[in-house]
Chain A
Amino acid sequence: MFFHIVLERNMQLHPRHFGRDLRDKLVTKLMKDVEGTCSGRHGFIVAITGIENVGKGLIRDGTGFVTFPVKYQCVVFRPFKGEILEAVVTMVNKMGFFAEAGPVQIFVSNHLIPDDMEFQTGDMPNYTTSDGSVKIQKESEVRLKIIGTRVDATEIFCIGTIKDDFLGVISDPGATS
């Protein structure tokens, strides 16, 4: 889910950037440092939407760098357990399938795929029901539920399930082509 939150960060600036464009340089550096990053607590910082406040700079002893506390607003994407997401399948193998919902990767194990769907190998590996009516392959859109999350230094990885009611394939690229 997306959230709009206010975060604070201490930005260090080299003295060569001091001048009338100091604030602009600070904001540019903030955008470069923060946008696209991921933290366990806040999720993916998708975009900075505004600067609330730039505090007084503090000169660091011995280096001449100055640290500015910057409060900024941003849009973050953070999945949470129990959340229902619509994801696009990126890879299918016998262990399950991988899908993406925005910047988040989700893995659905074959144990969490309905029992009546079986893995089919081939050029386009897929999971298909016995009657062939439902197929999960690359580019399929699926609705899944997040049941677990793993936080890395730069990304969040989720475990999902489609083995519940109202979960499963939304659209199959094979059916629409």
Chain B
Amino acid sequence: MTEKGGQGFGNSKGGKSAHKSSGKDNGSAKSKGGRKVQFESEGSGDKVRKGDKIANGSKSSQAKAPSTQECRLERELPENSKFLMDCEAAEILQGIQEQMVMLSEDPNIKLPVSFDSGLMYAKRGSYCTKSLTVGKILQPLKIYGVSDAEICQIANLRAESVEEVFCLIPSLKAKENKIKEPLRIALGELTNLRDALDELAKFNESVAMD
């Protein structure tokens, strides 16, 4: 029983700075029957910079965009792979979990541990968020060349500012001039959506307690 086309992660020649691009792959290291341990690391870099807690969000020198990151992912994953936002994954997994309740009489069908942890991770902080809504808010960014992977990363980040997005997704820096304003609008809409859903969650909790 074999998975077709299975290969390990490609190794990367690490950059010198935490902000530098990933670099090109060395190629996969195939396991020879024993434990496969391959460690690819960017390195902490010579420029030691104090990390910041999220609330502060200090500005720093601009990061170089890792141009090969998405290309590498597309090479390693099968064709027709679809990037999923966390809220999208949560909807899919939630649907499966609801089906499992009906199928739970069959002892052969059990959900693995990684399912529960994956579902909990996907649902975190996204009370009732519909992926369709989030997708519609971020859809306009595609006109400016933002890829599906970057859209998903923006959705998952739950960033509060444009600077935060550009810092954490360096590949967007190349399009900064074009997408700064649409991104600011989209982030504002997402924040409003999250706030509204948080209020709804609190209201439902208070109603449940009464």
Contact = CB atoms under 8 A, between A and B. Distances in A.
Contacts of A123: none
Interface residues of A, number: 68
Contact of B157 (A84, A147, A159): A84
Given A86-B124, A165-B57, A151 B92 contact: no
A147 B38 CA distance: 13
Interface stretch (B3-11, B174-182, B201-209): B3-11
A8 B36 CA distance: 22
A8 B4 contact: yes
Nearest to A167: B51
A127 to B, nearest CB: 11
A83 B72 CA distance: 13
A173 to B, nearest CB: 14
A4 B122 CA distance: 14
Contacts of A163: 18, 44, 48-51
B54 A168 contact: yes
Contacts, number: 222
A148 B50 contact: no
A150 interface: yes
Contacts of B153: 1, 83-84
Contact of A41 (B7, B41, B159, B169): B7
Contacts of A168: 51-54
B44 A161 contact: yes
B12 interface: yes
B48 A115 contact: yes
A112 B38 CA distance: 20
Contacts of A149: 9, 39-40
A163 B31 CA distance: 32
B57 A166 contact: yes
Interface string B9-53: 100100000110010000010010001111111111000111111
A75 B93 contact: yes
A159 B37 CA distance: 13
B8 A151 contact: yes
B45 to A, nearest CB: 9
Contact of B40 (A38, A75, A148): A148
Interface stretch (B107-115, B133-141, B191-199): B107-115
Interface string A51-65: 000000000000000
28 contacts: A1-B153, A3-B81, A4-B81, A4-B84, A5-B77, A5-B82, A11-B1, A28-B106, A36-B115, A47-B92, A81-B69, A82-B69, A82-B170, A84-B156, A102-B121, A102-B122, A114-B50, A148-B41, A151-B36, A152-B36, A159-B39, A164-B19, A165-B60, A166-B57, A167-B52, A168-B53, A168-B54, A170-B54
Given A10-B4, A77-B89, A86-B124, 20 more contacts: A1-B149, A2-B83, A4-B81, A5-B78, A12-B1, A35-B114, A36-B115, A41-B9, A41-B76, A42-B78, A47-B92, A82-B170, A103-B117, A103-B118, A147-B41, A148-B40, A151-B8, A164-B49, A166-B159, A166-B167
Interface of A: 1-12, 28, 31-33, 35-36, 38-42, 44-47, 49, 75, 77-78, 80-84, 86, 100-103, 111-116, 134, 143, 145, 147-153, 159, 161-170
